Amino acid sequence: MQLFATTPKGLELLLVEELRALGAMDPAEKLAGVAFTGDLTLAYKACLWSRFANRILLTLTSVRAGSPEALYKGVQTIDWHHHIDTAATIAVHFVCNQSTITHSLFGAQTVKDAIVDQLRDRFGVRPSVSRDRPDVSIYVYLHKDQATISLDLSGESLHKRGYRLISGSAPLKENLAAAILQRAGWKAIAKAGGSLLDPMCGSGTLLIEAAYMAGDVAPGLNRDYFGFLGWKQHQPAVWKTLHEEAVLRSTVGCQSLPDIIGYDHDPISIKIAFENIERAGMLGKIHVEKRELSVFAPKQQAVTGLVVTNPPYGERLGDVDELQPLYQLLAERLKEAFVGWKAAVFTGNPDLGKRMGLRAKKYYSLFNGAIPCKLLLFDVQPTYFIDNRNHRISP
């Protein structure tokens, strides 16, 4: 089977490594995705276990489509009865660039017509269209008049884990949060028993993804919808086995989670975070409370670990000056209370990161939606002063 996993820009290499670990033998990095081959079991594993992918696509064919008529005929080269029951619901997602067809809605309509016309001509009935959780989802990517036609096995973006119904004021998608934690080295820190703290946790996405990673919880475990469930070639027994294995792994993995703690000054954000944590099945395993950044500190006797946060970074002129004290306060708290810890700050405004007064040991370029961002990684070191004999002294 020819498969393709889509992902946000900047996460491709992480996704290559993840798919290889799941059993893909030849994952190849592409722009905003990874091409790979495998059997249906691997496709199911990717849907269940990928922390970084958006969609898992099963490629059916690729055809020249320099006109609507050519697209229509190309779609009809597929025997859709192998994939879609006439009583099923379908939806078409169409993406086009640098092609004769420039309107995605028109392209989607043409593809839909080709599918339903074929089935109606053959059986006298046709599937209906549903935008909300269709039985079968078709994904078409048209680039330079070449159309790749696929089934979307995920059905809807895999970043939707099922635990977040309401976002805070600046939502961070779940797969991006997982990427931040992966780049910050959270898995190794958690395995060593290190803690995780987020002083501006918002709706709790970083906390939940951290618990999922540390507890060996499949990110798709609590989803109740995938695009393959209504597909005629779906193999329920294979899926059931994989799902039961994931349940067992999470049960074992969550028995000894490290401390995962979130604070926020906004009580509404804390309420939303608590509700998300409950839906994620992490009640009692993640602690959140209202607390000001000015008193942010680790628990007494806490071992070192990771401070990770996505502070506000503003979108208007003048925001930098307004937010600079917040970033400086974060840096002060790190230097005063978290010496020996790792820290990761994700921001869409690198100027604010530079004004923290901490030197990043490494940074990564990522995107939060369309916003270019930087993930800054720090080793929090003690602050020293130099005396008149050129000796380092503690403050």
The answer, yes or no, to whether residue 61 has pLDDT greater than 90, is yes
| Closest by CA position to 64, among listed 149, 5, 151, 150 | 149
Q: DSSP characters for 202-269?
A: TTSHHHHHHHHHHTT--TTTT----TTTT-TT--HHHHHHHHHHHHHHHHHHGGGPPPEEEEES-HHH
Model confidence at 166, in pLDDT bands (50, 70, 90)?
Answer: low
Percent of the chain with pLDDT over 90: 85
Burial 268-298 (b: 16+ CB within 10 A, else e): ebbebbbbbbebbbbeebbebeebebeebeb
pLDDT one-digit tens code per residue, 187-222: 999 999 999 999 999 999 999 999 999 999 999 999
Look up residue 48 and give its two tokens: 């269940």
Model confidence at 168, in pLDDT bands (50, 70, 90)?
Answer: low
Look up residue 320 and give its two tokens: 């930098």
């086995």: which residue's tokens?
241
The secondary element (H helix, E strand) that includes residue 341 is none
Tell me what pLDDT residue 163 has. 95
CB 162 within 8 A of CB 222: yes
Tell me what pLDDT residue 393 has. 47
Q: Count the neighbouring beta carbons within 10 Å of the beta carbon of residue 339.
A: 13
- Strands (DSSP E) contained in the chain are 2-6, 28-30, 33-37, 55-64, 89-97, 128-129, 136-143, 146-152, 195-198, 260-264, 287-290, 305-309, 342-347, 362-368, 371-379, 385-386, 392-393
pLDDT one-digit tens code per residue, 250-306: 999 999 999 999 999 999 999 999 999 999 999 999 999 999 999 999 988 778 999
Q: How far apart are CA 107 and CA 199, in angstroms?
A: 46
Helices in 280-375 by DSSP H: which ranges?
Answer: 319-337, 350-354
């979130």: which residue's tokens?
262
Q: How far apart are CA 309 and CA 251, in angstroms?
A: 27
Q: How far apart are CA 395 and CA 381, in angstroms?
A: 13
Measured torsion, CA atoms of residues 344, 348, 354, 356, in degrees rounded to the nearest 10: -60
Q: How far apart are CA 206 and CA 174, in angstroms?
A: 8
pLDDT one-digit tens code per residue, 70-94: 999 999 999 999 999 999 999 999 9
Average pLDDT over residues 128-156: 96
pTM of the model: 0.93
pLDDT one-digit tens code per residue, 169-196: 557 999 999 999 999 999 999 999 999 9
Tell me what pLDDT residue 351 has. 82
Tell me what pLDDT residue 383 has. 63
∠ CA 324-371-147, nearest 5°, is: 175
Q: DSSP characters for 251-274?
A: HHHGGGPPPEEEEES-HHHHHHHH
Q: At what angle do helices 104-123 and 68-75 cross, to 10 degrees?
A: 40
pLDDT one-digit tens code per residue, 298-354: 988 778 999 999 998 876 545 777 888 999 999 999 999 999 999 999 998 888 888
Contacts of 69 (CB under 8 A, 6+ apart): none
Q: How far apart are CA 194 and CA 180, in angstroms?
A: 17
∠ CA 206-134-244, nearest 5°, is: 55
The answer, yes or no, to whether residue 394 has pLDDT greater than 70, is no
